[in-house]
Every structure is written in C-alpha cells, then in structure tokens.
Amino acid sequence: MNHLYRTFVVSVESGTLVKAAAVLHVTQPTVTRQLQQLEAEFHQPLFERTGGRLVLTRSGEVVYRTAKRLLALDDKLREELSSLANPEMGTVYVGAGVTPAIHLLPEAFALYRRRHSGVIFHLRTGSSSEIVQLLTQREIDIGIVTTVDTKRSDLMTKPLYRDDLLLVAPPNHVLSSHTAITVSDLGKYPVIVMQTGSGLRSLVEDLLASRDVKLEPALEVDSLEAISRLVQFGLGIAFLPRSCVRDDLVRGRLVVMHLMDEPPTARTITMVHRAQGSLPANAERFAAQLPGLFQALHEVREGKAT
C-alpha cells in the first residue's frame, strides 16, 4: 500500500498526473492505474477530475492527511533501520552507574564523537542490577557496571578500568598526619559508608571484618559524591573510588591515608552487553573501541597526576 499512498500524495501535491509521473519517474498511465487501485481499495472516489487538474473529494482529503503521516513514519522507520547498519550514524544507548556516568564516560563520549561525529549517546543511570535489567529488557545496548553476576551466561563482559579504593579524610583530620595507620585504627573514628546492599559497602565490610573490626557507620548514604562532600566537612572518613575523588585530591580538599597492614583494593568498572543477538553497528563499534578509550584516558589522567 505504501507505494500507492506515495503516488497519491505526489499526485495531490503536483496537481496534475503529468507532473506526478515526472516526479515519480513513471508513465502517466501507471500513475492513473495506481490511483484507481487506491480508489478501488477504499470503494470511494478520491478525486474530482475537472479541467485537467486533480481536486480532492472529502474522502480524498481524509486519505491525504493520513497517507502523509504514514509515509513520514515509513521514512523515519527506514532511516532508523539504515542507521542500525551504519556504524557512523544513530544513537548508542548506554546504561551506567552514577560514578562512571559522572567521572569516566563523559570524556570517553567526547573523545569518541571527535572521531565519529554522526554517533550520539543516550545515557541512563542506575545501580548495577538496574543496568543489567535494562539490558535484559533491551532498553540499552551497553552497560557499564561495578558488580557483575558471573553466572549470567546470556551476558558478555569486558573489564575496562581498575578503580582503586582510597581511604580519604579531610586535610585536618587527626589521622592525616600519621605515617602508620592500620585497619584496627579505623574502629576509633566515624566512618561514612554507602547504604547496605551496595558493592562498595560489601568491600568495606569485608576489609574491616578481616581485622576483626566492627563497622559502626557514622552515616549511611546512597551517593558517593555526597560521601565525598561529607568527608570534606569533617563528618567522618570513607573509602571512595579514585575516579570519584580525583579532583578533590588535586585541589587539596581531601587527603589519602595509606593502611600499613592492608594491600590496596579496587573495584573493576566492567562493560556488559547481551550475548545473544548482534548489537547495532554503531554500538558494536563503540563497544570494540571503549576499552582503548578508557586506557588512553587513564594514561592522560596519570600523566596529569604526576
């Protein structure tokens, strides 16, 4: 039917069958036959043919308005399908935790778009479990998470970035001048932590439990950025990812305290996407280049830090 609608719309807008045939690159009898087919389909005349010009009947006006909308939708559909096959065009749908979304992905997006300006990004944030759910529901193409369910055989994973966990305090904290700090020392001071159930909370609890230190949080918060601010105002100390506090350390708003009896720990920023079904071409190329982008940006940050 779409080819009949297109012939009809072009005929209306051209005004005559001769002009419509020229626009459509067909013969005039072909245009006439297709218009007759459309009228037969609706069992109503769509034109009043007077003086060689095409004048719409009331039924024709209704069909014209609807046909215009249908053709516009058809064109949009074809454009979107074409973009899915073109790695240089279209939208890549990404889901990420708040910290990667704020501190890591913006630079990666910007660098990628400098190379592939036709690609745009749609970013949604949430917990690792929420991002995986969005993947399962096919609402995003790629997820950037900190907690991965290794039992999910339907998902493909790729580590992107080792995000060191740092014990941070305000510069004037009593521990900041100590050269030897142990995990046991932390039990004497207020600790600010993420809410129960978060991956970071579990890492902190496991660390303290390994030295028989009971965690008694001064505050429980659902935002790493909020924890950083609370630490700066002297409400406690905290373990935070390096990516979250990098700027605060450079500007002297926070200091790092090194634990003498515990090796550095970290959480891994991981890319995840569905194993079944191919990614759109633009998302597939972005996924292939993202590890390299993260590595390049990490080297730049380390160079600035030194």
pLDDT score of 33: 93
Q: Examine domains 90-161+268-305 and 162-266 and report if their fold is the same.
A: yes
Percent with pLDDT over 70 in the chain: 96
Please state the rounded mean pLDDT for residues 114-143: 92
pLDDT greater than 80 at residue 298: no
Query: In CATH, what class is 2-84?
Result: mainly alpha
Give me the residue label for tokens 């024709």: 60
pLDDT greater than 70 at residue 106: yes
**162-266 — its CATH code?**
3.40.190.10
pLDDT greater than 90 at residue 184: no
pLDDT score of 179: 67
pLDDT interval class at 306 (50, 70, 90): very low
Mean pLDDT of the chain: 87
pLDDT greater than 80 at residue 65: yes
pLDDT interval class at 52 (50, 70, 90): low
For the segment 202-252, what is each residue's pLDDT rounded down to a tens digit? 888 888 888 888 878 889 998 889 999 999 999 999 999 998 998 999 999
Please state the rounded mean pLDDT for residues 8-19: 89
Distance CA(9)–CA(13), nearest Å, equals 6
Indicate the domain borders of the chain. Answer: 2-84, 90-161+268-305, 162-266
Angle at 202 between CA 196 and CA 206, to 5 degrees: 135
Please state the rounded mean pLDDT for residues 287-305: 81
Name the amino acid, one letter, at 110. A
| Tally of CB atoms within 10 A around 185 | 17
pLDDT greater than 90 at residue 189: no
More confident residue, 258 or 264: 258
Please state the rounded mean pLDDT for residues 40-55: 83
The reported pTM is 0.68
Q: Which CATH superfamily is domain 90-161+268-305 in?
A: Periplasmic binding protein-like II (3.40.190.10)
| Tally of CB atoms within 10 A around 9 | 17
Task: Provide CB contacts within 8 A for 305, sequence distance 6+.
Answer: 246, 250
Distance CA(174)–CA(57), nearest Å, equals 87
Distance CA(9)–CA(2), nearest Å, equals 10
